[in-house]
């Protein structure tokens, strides 16, 4: 049975930003926060299906800068602001404690929030955790990470950057991101659109290598490219230091789901991270041949089972 729609609200979180928050499920049931990835992707109708047949009260937030949320600009779109927004929404709806579910950058936000506000999180289920450190950034955008396994796709990703460097070689992550900064803010609309397309094509190729991706030029693709690039350019706003700061404070029962073939957030980086993590209520599930995207049925099943376990 599909979750019933409860209501929609626009929540003022300050700085001229109002967040779109949709509620599904049953009032009075266990509260759950869903955090989408990206950053910049927004929530989708398909996200609601993750909670089918479950007796929950689920809050879906379109993070600042995407979906139906309004106001603000890139200068106010930071990792600390996204985390603060979660707490403002909790207070707005007078939620004492909630479970958190999220993937990729949504998992990043949820994990950090659970360490900053441990008394507010009961359980959490995450998949494809993006660690937002230098190794994760270099793997995703540099020439020596995923690029070595998707050579043709990376070459298609690079030309949008090379066009601004007179065919000079992109030798590291910083050069690529700097070139994209110029392209994404170009006065030429065709150049901007090509950069948006190339940025999204690269990530979608890594997230779902077995699918053929057909993309338009809609506002979601624009917000993903601009916001993801903005966070990467700013080294995810000192996320590694924040991960270390809250390491001993994460106390909620946590279930991490990791795809064996996740090319966006690879398993070896998670293994390195967990060797240093101080978490006594953590279980890690490895999905054989699982990718990053939930369009992969193996990952989808694992995530839905993980969510069901928190009911």
pTM of the predicted structure, to 2 decimals: 0.94
Q: What are the respective helix, strand and coil percentages of the chain, to the nearest 5? A: 45, 20, 35
Which comes out higher in pLDDT, residue 2 or 32?
A: 32
How far, in Å, CA of 225 to CA of 183, rounded?
A: 11
Phi, psi of 237 (to 5 degrees): 55, 50
How far, in Å, CA of 161 to CA of 183, rounded?
A: 7
pLDDT tens-digit readout, 89-107: 999 999 999 999 999 999 9
How far, in Å, CA of 303 to CA of 132, rounded?
A: 22
Determine what percent of the chain is predicted with pLDDT higher than 70: 94
The predicted model gives 147-163 an average pLDDT of: 82
Q: In the predicted model, is pLDDT for residue 164 greater than 60? A: no
pLDDT score recorded for residue 32 = 98
pLDDT score recorded for residue 160 = 47
pLDDT score recorded for residue 217 = 53
What structural domains does the chain harbor? 5-133+237-308 (3.40.50.1820), 135-236 (no CATH)
Q: In the predicted model, is pLDDT for residue 130 greater than 70? A: yes
pLDDT score recorded for residue 29 = 97
Which comes out higher in pLDDT, residue 170 or 177?
A: 177
Q: What DSSP element (H or E) covers 57?
A: strand 56-62
The predicted model gives 72-79 an average pLDDT of: 94
DSSP type of residue 76: G
Determine what percent of the chain is predicted with pLDDT higher than 90: 87
Would you state the structure tokens that stand for residue 282, as one six-digit string?
A: 């953590």
pLDDT score recorded for residue 1 = 65
**115 contacts: CB under 8 Å, gap ≥ 6:** 245, 246, 247, 249, 250
For residue 5, the cross-strand partners are: 24
Q: In the predicted model, is pLDDT for residue 138 greater than 70? A: yes
* Residue linked to tokens 């499920």: 25
- The per-residue pLDDT of the chain, averaged, comes to 93
Q: Which of 217-221, 281-285, 293-297 has the lowest mean pLDDT?
A: 217-221
pLDDT score recorded for residue 298 = 97
- 13 neighbors 199 (Cβ within 8 angstroms): no
Q: Which of 28-37, 81-90, 173-182, 212-221 has the lowest mean pLDDT?
A: 212-221
Burial class (CB in 10 A: 0-12, 13-18, 19+), 219: exposed
Q: In the predicted model, is pLDDT for residue 201 greater than 70? A: yes
Q: What DSSP element (H or E) covers 132?
A: none
pLDDT score recorded for residue 215 = 56
pLDDT score recorded for residue 168 = 56
pLDDT score recorded for residue 311 = 75
pLDDT tens-digit readout, 211-250: 755 555 588 999 999 999 999 999 999 999 999 999 889 9
Q: How many CB atoms lie within 10 A of CB 126?
A: 26
């Amino acid at each position: 049975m599909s979750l019933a729609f409860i209501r929609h609200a626009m929540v003022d979180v300050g700085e001229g930003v109002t967040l779109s928050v949709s509620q599904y499920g049953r009032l009075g049931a266990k509260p759950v926060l869903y955090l989408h990835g990206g950053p910049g992707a927004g929530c989708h109708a398909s996200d609601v299906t993750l909670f089918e047949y479950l007796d929950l009260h689920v809050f879906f937030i379109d993070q600042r800068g995407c979906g139906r949320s309004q106001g603000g600009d890139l200068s106010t779109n930071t990792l600390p602001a996204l985390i603060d927004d979660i707490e403002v929404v909790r207070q707005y709806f007078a939620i004492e404690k909630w479970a958190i579910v999220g993937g990729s950058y949504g998992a990043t936000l949820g994990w950090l929030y659970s360490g900053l506000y441990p008394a507010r999180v009961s359980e959490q289920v995450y998949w494809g955790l993006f660690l937002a450190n230098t190794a994760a950034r270099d793997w995703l955008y540099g020439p020596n990470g995923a690029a070595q396994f998707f050579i043709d796709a990376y070459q298609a990703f690079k030309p949008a950057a090379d066009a601004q460097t007179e065919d000079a070689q992109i030798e590291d992550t910083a050069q690529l991101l700097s070139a994209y900064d110029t392209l994404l803010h170009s006065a030429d609309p065709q150049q901007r659109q090509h950069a948006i397309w190339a940025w999204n094509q690269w990530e979608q190729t890594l997230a779902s290598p077995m699918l053929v991706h057909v993309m338009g030029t809609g506002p979601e693709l624009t917000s993903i490219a601009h916001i993801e690039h903005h966070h990467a350019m700013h080294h995810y706003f000192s996320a590694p230091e924040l991960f270390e700061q809250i390491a001993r404070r994460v106390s909620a029962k946590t279930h991490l789901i990791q795809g064996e073939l996740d090319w966006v957030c690879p398993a070896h980086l998670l293994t390195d991270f967990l060797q240093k993590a101080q978490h006594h209520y953590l279980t890690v599930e490895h999905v054989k041949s699982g990718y990053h995207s939930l369009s992969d049925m193996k990952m989808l099943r694992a995530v839905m089972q993980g969510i069901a376990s928190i009911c």
